[in-house]
């Protein structure tokens, strides 16, 4: 029996779309439009800076989700990277090997510049890289419906990611699978703050809470993704390790001080639970992490 070829994934992010949509999701409909001038000026308005901080997009959550489908062959993000609102993401995008495609301001480049450039690149890639199996489109605009349909006709599995409340139903329907950014593992749901109770005991407790160990975060995210993919409570340790390596190619249990992957799992009891049945090792989320 011939071996199945591993899935190979191309990811395309309409970054402006996601940033604006998530800002509106956190702060209310049309909030980005109302704050656009202050955001664009990058003048350091403390109120706007705080609002932008509260609406920070978790780039890692998107890329890790895409990696759950297979090996990332290429990842591109389209935006005006000279704009302060996008520039703050450049270092972490580059750190995740994302190609940054520069789009010029709308007045010079036209309203649908990102849509057109992204679609042209994606279709070209379909013909240039015939081993691509999955296309992940991170956007919510209905203008991407023809792209999703074309990719499907060319035999690719099309996965969409968009912000809840800002995604066209037609785009979701055109994809083989569509998931809300809000629901991705690691993404914190937006919280509507109550001005009169901004300094409650609970808020102070959250501020004082130490940040989670990065290894814990990576492991938990991988477990949630693999559990969702297989629809099984227990997942194979080998499959989990493969996913971890796709999410973070630098991952090494030995580099983290563990003799084996089993020892690595056992060292994170708050996140993962291990079960051994002969030579088979299974892992699931620990009760505290569910």
- We report the CATH number of the domain holding residue 119 as 3.40.50.1010
Same domain membership, residue 146 and residue 17: yes
Q: Is the same domain home to 182 and 259?
A: no
142 and 20 belong to one structural domain:
yes
Q: Is residue 199, in this structure, part of any structural domain at all?
A: no
Amino acid 196: pLDDT: 45
Is 165 within the bounds of a domain? yes
Domain that holds residue 85: 8-189
Indicate if 175 and 220 belong to the same structural domain: no
What is the DSSP annotation of 129-157?
-TT--EEEEE---GGGHHHHHHHHHTT-E
> In terms of domains, do 185 and 219 share one?
no
Answer whether residue 13 is part of any domain. yes
* CATH code for the domain of 278: 3.30.420.610
Instruction: Please indicate, yes or no, if residue 209 is contained in any of the structural domains.
Output: no
User: SS3 for 199?
Assistant: coil
Answer whether residue 3 is part of any domain: no
239/275 Cα distance (integer angstroms): 15
13 and 145 belong to one structural domain: yes
Residue 205 lies in a domain: no
List, in order, residues 6 or more apart from 172 with CB less than 8 Å away: 160, 162, 178
Q: Are residues 175 and 238 in the same domain?
A: no
Strand pairing report for 157-162 and 235-236: unpaired
The pLDDT score that the predictor gives to residue 111 is: 52
> Are 182 and 252 found together in one domain?
no
- If asked whether residues 62 and 125 sit together in one domain, one would say yes
Buried b (16+ CB within 10 A) or exposed e, 262-283: bebbebbeebbbbeeeeeebbb
| 169 lies in the same domain as 221 | no
Give the contacts of 207 (CB within 8 A, at least 6 positions apart).
none
Kindly report the pTM of this predicted structure: 0.79
189, 224, 256 - which closes a domain: 189
The pLDDT assigned to 212 comes to 54
Q: How many domains does the chain have?
A: 2
Of 189, 222, 251, the one marking the end of a domain is 189
Which parts of the chain register pLDDT below 50?
1-2, 107-110, 194-198, 202-210
**Is 112 contained in some domain?**
yes
Would 120 be classed as within a structural domain? yes
User: What's the angle, vertex CA 129, arms to CA 92 and CA 139, rounded to 5?
Assistant: 45
Quote the DSSP letter at residue 122: H
pLDDT of residue 112: 56
Q: Which two tokens stand for residue 233?
A: 């409570």
Domain stop point among 189, 204, 235: 189
Extract the tokens encoding 71.
Answer: 């090996």
């Amino acid at each position: 029996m011939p071996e199945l070829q591993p899935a190979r994934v191309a990811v395309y992010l309409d970054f402006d779309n996601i940033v604006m949509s998530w800002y509106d999701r956190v702060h209310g409909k049309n909030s980005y439009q109302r704050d656009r001038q202050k955001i664009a000026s990058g003048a350091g308005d403390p109120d706007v800076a705080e609002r932008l901080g509260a609406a920070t997009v978790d780039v890692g959550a998107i890329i890790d989700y895409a990696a759950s489908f297979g090996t990332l062959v290429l990842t591109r993000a389209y935006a005006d990277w000279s704009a302060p609102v996008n520039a703050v993401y450049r270092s972490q995008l580059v750190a995740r090997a994302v190609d940054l495609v520069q789009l010029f301001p709308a007045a010079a480049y036209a309203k649908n510049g990102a849509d057109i450039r992204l679609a042209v690149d994606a279709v070209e890639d379909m013909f240039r890289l015939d081993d691509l199996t999955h296309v992940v489109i991170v956007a919510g605009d209905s203008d991407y419906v023809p792209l999703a349909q074309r990719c499907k006709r060319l035999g690719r599995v099309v996965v969409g990611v968009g912000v809840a409340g800002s995604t066209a139903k037609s785009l979701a329907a055109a994809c083989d699978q569509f998931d809300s950014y809000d629901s991705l593992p690691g993404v914190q749901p937006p919280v509507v703050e109550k001005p009169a109770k901004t300094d409650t005991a609970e808020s102070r407790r959250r501020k004082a809470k130490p940040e989670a160990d990065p290894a814990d975060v990576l492991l938990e995210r991988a477990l949630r993704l693999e559990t969702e993919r297989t629809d099984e409570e227990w997942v194979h340790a080998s499959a989990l390790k493969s996913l971890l390596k796709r999410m973070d190619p630098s991952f090494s249990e030995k580099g983290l001080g563990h003799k084996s992957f089993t020892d690595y799992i056992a060292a994170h009891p708050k996140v993962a639970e291990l079960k051994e049945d002969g030579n088979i090792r299974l892992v699931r989320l620990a009760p505290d992490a569910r």
